[in-house]
């Protein structure tokens, strides 16, 4: 199973951005988005930025994901999550 994860943009580099989720940073493609800049939150799936979202929506989604991992994280991780 793959999840689309809210990620905060650290910096943009042309068609790519460096994003951060809980101190894990990675480079993602942002060609499908317009007007992305540092501090924005975007939904990332399979290395691509899919949609911008506001900080509150990102925080709520990340909270739910953290809670799910806390409740059954061992099982989730064992399945490749």
d(C-alpha 6, C-alpha 28), whole Å? 12
| Predicted local confidence at residue 79, as pLDDT | 46
Q: Tokens 């999550």: give the residue.
A: 81
Q: Which residues of the chain have pLDDT under 50?
A: 78-81
What radius of gyration, in Å, describes the C-alpha atoms of the chain?
A: 13
Q: Which domains does the chain have, with CATH numbers?
A: 5-78 (2.30.30.140)
Q: Identify the three-state secondary structure at position 74.
A: helix
How does pLDDT run across 14-36, given as a tens digit for each residue?
999 999 998 899 999 999 999 99
Say if CB 15 and CB 31 are below 8 A apart.
yes
């Amino acid at each position: 199973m793959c999840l689309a994860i809210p990620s905060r943009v650290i910096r943009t580099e042309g068609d790519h951005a460096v994003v951060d989720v809980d101190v894990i940073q990675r480079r993602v493609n942002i060609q499908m988005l317009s007007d992305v800049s540092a501090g924005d939150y975007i939904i990332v799936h399979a290395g691509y930025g899919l949609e911008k979202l506001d900080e509150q929506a990102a925080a709520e989604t990340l909270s739910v994901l953290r809670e799910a991992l806390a409740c059954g994280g061992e099982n989730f991780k064992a399945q490749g999550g």
